[in-house]
Chain A
Amino acid sequence: MRLEVDMSLVDQARSAAESIADSIQPIIDAYTTTSIERTVLRLLWVDGVDENNVPLPNIIVDQAQDAGLLEDGIAYWIGSAMLHTGLTLRETIGALSHGDIIFDRIPGAYDDAVRALVEDEAERTCKYIKERRLERERLILEKDSRVPPYLYVIVATGNIYEDVIQAKAAAKCGADVIAVIRSTGQSLLDYVPYGPTTEGVGGTYATQANFRIMREALDEVGRELGRYIRLVNYCSGLCMPEIAAMGALERLDMMLNDAMYGILFRNINMQRTFVDQHFSRMINAYAGIVINTGEDNYLTTADAYEEAHTVLASQFINEALARRSGLTPRQIGLGHAFEMDPDMTDGFLYELAQAEMARIIFPEAPLKYMPPTKHMTGNIFKGHLMDAMFNLAGAISGQTIQLLGILTEHVHTPHLHDRYLAIEGARYVMNNTRHLRDEITYKKGGIMEKRANEVLRKAASMLEQVAKIGLMSAIEQGMFASIKRERTGGRGLDGVIKKSERYYNPFQALFMKELTSPDFSPLLWGNPANRQGGGAEEWR
């Protein structure tokens, strides 16, 4: 018997989250952003930098913005330029970037003519992204037979080539998912760096070349191991949709992609973020990418016991917004974390109660469980134990993605053997308790059931309050993570543009057409039954 939670409260919370998502939809529909328009260019295969290392998508979108034309969508004006000059897409981009054509001098063409021209190019991209999705599905069918939780580790050397060495070593130790941490501060860059990079602080720049290099490396080690190794990066910050496009083109498998993280923790303008997240998630959905939301961040400053309901409330909101972008429930990897004070009596019970609660409330979501970080002290021995408890909670509660704790958390970004020890520890705990979940029943009315329902009750009432005043006002009042952000404050508002009636973005319609079709159901996870000879050798 599973933990019993009050399903009527779940329905209540979910419908409040729906109306919260509805309340910001008008803004999402009415505006575009510089980042979205740059994404449209990237999806039209505009890539590269000028002699000052400024990316071409930035150059062209900035020109259009200066000319006051971005409200029509960059695609409309690129199409008009093509019609006016008779040049191909590639030639048009070249001419624009060299100043041979100037946006001011291009006459606007008939909408239908533009669409006929650009739509073809856009369809080509969609086809390419879909092929990459089907490529993943083939690989998963062939090789992915893991029993969850999938073991997720991080590499963060700053040098993509060093990252490759570490990622391959981790895969050989048993890691299933490799996340390349981004260089500190990239989220606030209003452009995406270009080319392979070997310098970064606290992580490695997310560039399309780096994505490609790591993808190839993981495919290679996957072939050697007969497994599919997933690749993760960060679809967040000021370039959220651009990074989604890069990930879609390079077959990343997961993206950290939260609807509110940038607003709260990076002080990015909320209108910018809400508009950007919508399109970025649409791309992720179409590419068959699993998003990971960032609720663990709520607990890095706030107390994990006191503020547990804010995690749940945010999960409901992330779910509602993600669904509106066309993501299937199985693509929505809601985040939560094991962050209770280890000195707390019965702390493990509360952790487990919350982990089980999340499992029940979001039955299809590939939940992403985050390890202890806040209470890691540098005592690596105790830290290793805390990570073991975390792994146990993950195994018992049936999490899908387990971001492995590292014993040297709080000391440095993981060394090669830190990762090995983490994977070895996780494999030990999870193999040793493989079927424990099936054997456990929880006491009716016990500590855990009470705890789960208390958290749920608080989350539902918080959501109803947010629904009443609107999400933006709630953020302005500091209802999330006790951080107050103003509607017109933060970075990136100058890149938010009201759409004109003629606004054209070929990809939204093309993506949504497929995403809303009942047949859309990307294959994301393997089936242990596919393994020849059963699953026993997995943990050998």
Chain B
Amino acid sequence: MEVDLSRIRPYGDTLDDGYMQLSFTLPVQCDAKAKKAAELLSEKMGLQDVKVVYAHNIADSFSFFIVYGRCIHSVDMTAINIPEVDVEFMSYDEINGFIEKHIGRKVVVVAACTGTDAHTVGIDAIISMKGYRGESGLERYPWFVTYNLGSQVANEDLVAKAIEVNADAILVSQVVTQRNIHIDNLTHLAELVEAEGIRDKVLLVMGGPRISHELAIELGYDAGFGPGTLPSHVGSFIAQALARRIRDSKEQQRGCIHE
């Protein structure tokens, strides 16, 4: 099977047949006209050979459709460039060893679920002793000092805490993303960190089920971690990024002296 990465399209039953399924609801009663509307809408979305395989009346004034069709579009995958977190994943012992060797002191992390978000699942998975998927959270690492401020923390309080404890990294978790509330909140935090003049002192890291590294970079963060992230992933990143920063700033200082 020869896959042309410059023209990639869905695979249903044979290469390049473009088959895909979708389902949606239209706010009208389910009749022949509604079904035709669903078909036309699907065609507008770039499907051909559209089959409305299921149409069902929901509560008199809505109709639900399941549709199959062949996608006429294709995508050039060779032109895609996605920013990925620059990190080499290490184990618990490796991370502790790395910090001891390259940083030489404990790394201070403050973490919180900010804004109105009350879901601490993500931040607890990364920080708490219990951790996630059998991996301990950063709290257990001897070379990390962690402050988990919990949920519904104001950005101002998070930044104040970071300054108070001289944090190396701020971890912020966002679970609720309805109406893109997380974007406003994360942007606000980045601005605050900047305004307080500590942006070059702390690593800004975001996480959550709808978070990507791409989004993190876009909003001026150092890294973003999505679902399935383990404590050691975050720990590896913080250790390596911090070591890099320390090394860079030393080199810069040397540079200054030479001048």
Which one of B1-9, B41-49, B174-182, B195-203 is at the A interface? B174-182
For residue B176, give the distance in angstroms from its CB to the closest CB of chain A: 5
Q: Are A416 and B25 neighbours in the complex by a CB distance under 8 Å? A: yes
Interface centre among B25, B59, B124, B152 (most CB of A within 10 A): B59
| Set of chain B residues within 8 Å of A169, measured between Cβ atoms | 58-59, 61-62
Q: Are B152 and A188 neighbours in the complex by a CB distance under 8 Å? A: yes
Q: Determine whether B60 belongs to the interface, using a CB cutoff of 8 Å to chain A.
A: yes
For residue B205, give the distance in angstroms from its CB to the closest CB of chain A: 21
Q: Are B121 and A301 neighbours in the complex by a CB distance under 8 Å? A: yes
Q: Determine whether A94 belongs to the interface, using a CB cutoff of 8 Å to chain B.
A: no
Q: Determine whether B64 belongs to the interface, using a CB cutoff of 8 Å to chain A.
A: yes
- Docked Cα-Cα span, A204 to B11, in Å, equals 41
Q: Which of A253-286 contact B (CB under 8 A)?
A: 265-267
| Set of chain B residues within 8 Å of A369, measured between Cβ atoms | none
- Docked Cα-Cα span, A158 to B125, in Å, equals 29
Q: Determine whether A173 belongs to the interface, using a CB cutoff of 8 Å to chain B.
A: yes
**Chain A residue with the shortest CB-CB distance to B118:** A184
Q: Which of B64-120 contact A (CB under 8 A)?
A: 64, 116-118, 120
Q: Are A420 and B176 neighbours in the complex by a CB distance under 8 Å? A: no
How many residues in B have their beta carbons less than 8 Å from beta carbons of A? 28
Q: Which of A172, A187, A201, A300 contacts B176 (CB 8 A)?
A: A201
For residue A349, give the distance in angstroms from its CB to the closest CB of chain B: 23
Q: Determine whether A413 belongs to the interface, using a CB cutoff of 8 Å to chain B.
A: yes
Q: Determine whether B209 belongs to the interface, using a CB cutoff of 8 Å to chain A.
A: yes
Q: Are A417 and B152 neighbours in the complex by a CB distance under 8 Å? A: no
Q: Are B58 and A173 neighbours in the complex by a CB distance under 8 Å? A: yes
Contact A482 B116, CB 8 Å, known A168-B59, A201-B179, A416-B58: no
**Chain A residue with the shortest CB-CB distance to B130:** A482
| Set of chain A residues within 8 Å of B61, measured between Cβ atoms | 169
Q: Determine whether A412 belongs to the interface, using a CB cutoff of 8 Å to chain B.
A: yes
How many residues in A have their beta carbons less than 8 Å from beta carbons of B? 30
Contact A301 B124, CB 8 Å, known A172-B59, A185-B118, A202-B178: yes
Q: Which of A142-173 contact B (CB under 8 A)?
A: 158, 168-173
For residue B204, give the distance in angstroms from its CB to the closest CB of chain A: 23
Q: Which of A279-336 contact B (CB under 8 A)?
A: 300-302
Q: Determine whether A457 belongs to the interface, using a CB cutoff of 8 Å to chain B.
A: no
Q: Are B62 and A416 neighbours in the complex by a CB distance under 8 Å? A: yes
Interface centre among A168, A377, A420 (most CB of B within 10 A): A420
Q: Are B150 and A301 neighbours in the complex by a CB distance under 8 Å? A: no
| Set of chain A residues within 8 Å of B252, measured between Cβ atoms | none
- Docked Cα-Cα span, A300 to B120, in Å, equals 10
| Set of chain A residues within 8 Å of B117, measured between Cβ atoms | 184-185
Q: Determine whether A415 belongs to the interface, using a CB cutoff of 8 Å to chain B.
A: yes
- Docked Cα-Cα span, A420 to B61, in Å, equals 13
Q: Are A412 and B178 neighbours in the complex by a CB distance under 8 Å? A: yes
**Chain B residue with the shortest CB-CB distance to A200:** B178
Q: Are B176 and A202 neighbours in the complex by a CB distance under 8 Å? A: yes
| Set of chain A residues within 8 Å of B178, measured between Cβ atoms | 158, 201-202, 412-413
Q: Determine whether A410 belongs to the interface, using a CB cutoff of 8 Å to chain B.
A: yes
Q: Are B121 and A300 neighbours in the complex by a CB distance under 8 Å? A: yes
| Set of chain A residues within 8 Å of B124, measured between Cβ atoms | 301
| Set of chain A residues within 8 Å of B152, measured between Cβ atoms | 185, 188
| Set of chain B residues within 8 Å of A301, measured between Cβ atoms | 120-121, 124-125, 130
- Docked Cα-Cα span, A144 to B78, in Å, equals 61
Q: Are B118 and A187 neighbours in the complex by a CB distance under 8 Å? A: yes
| Set of chain A residues within 8 Å of B58, measured between Cβ atoms | 169, 172-173, 416-417, 420
| Set of chain B residues within 8 Å of A171, measured between Cβ atoms | 59
- Docked Cα-Cα span, A540 to B121, in Å, equals 41
For residue B64, give the distance in angstroms from its CB to the closest CB of chain A: 5
Q: Which of A168, A172, A201 contacts B116 (CB 8 A)?
A: A201
| Set of chain B residues within 8 Å of A300, measured between Cβ atoms | 121
| Set of chain B residues within 8 Å of A413, measured between Cβ atoms | 178
- Docked Cα-Cα span, A221 to B156, in Å, equals 46
Q: Which of A190-221 contact B (CB under 8 A)?
A: 201-202
| Set of chain B residues within 8 Å of A168, measured between Cβ atoms | 59
- Docked Cα-Cα span, A321 to B124, in Å, equals 30
- Docked Cα-Cα span, A309 to B152, in Å, equals 29
Interface centre among A412, A416, A417 (most CB of B within 10 A): A417
- Docked Cα-Cα span, A482 to B150, in Å, equals 14
| Set of chain A residues within 8 Å of B130, measured between Cβ atoms | 301-302, 482
- Docked Cα-Cα span, A8 to B138, in Å, equals 43
Q: Are B116 and A420 neighbours in the complex by a CB distance under 8 Å? A: no
| Set of chain B residues within 8 Å of A183, measured between Cβ atoms | 116
Contact A173 B59, CB 8 Å, known A184-B117, A201-B176, A300-B121: yes
Q: Determine whether B187 belongs to the interface, using a CB cutoff of 8 Å to chain A.
A: no
Q: Determine whether B249 belongs to the interface, using a CB cutoff of 8 Å to chain A.
A: no
Given contacts A184-B118, A417-B64, 17 further A-B contacts (CB under 8 A): A168-B59, A171-B59, A173-B59, A185-B118, A185-B152, A188-B118, A202-B176, A266-B118, A266-B151, A267-B150, A301-B125, A410-B209, A416-B25, A417-B23, A417-B25, A420-B64, A482-B128
Point out residues on A near B: beta carbons under 8 Å: 158, 168-173, 183-185, 187-188, 201-202, 265-267, 300-302, 377-378, 410, 412-413, 415-417, 420, 482
Task: Name 25 interchain pairs, CB-CB below 8 A, sorted by A.
Answer: A169-B58, A172-B58, A172-B60, A173-B59, A184-B116, A184-B117, A184-B176, A185-B116, A187-B118, A201-B178, A265-B118, A267-B150, A300-B121, A301-B121, A301-B130, A378-B227, A416-B58, A416-B62, A417-B23, A417-B25, A417-B62, A420-B56, A420-B58, A420-B59, A420-B64
The 5 A-B residue pairs with the shortest CB-CB distance in the complex, in nearest-first order: A185-B116, A172-B59, A169-B59, A417-B25, A417-B64
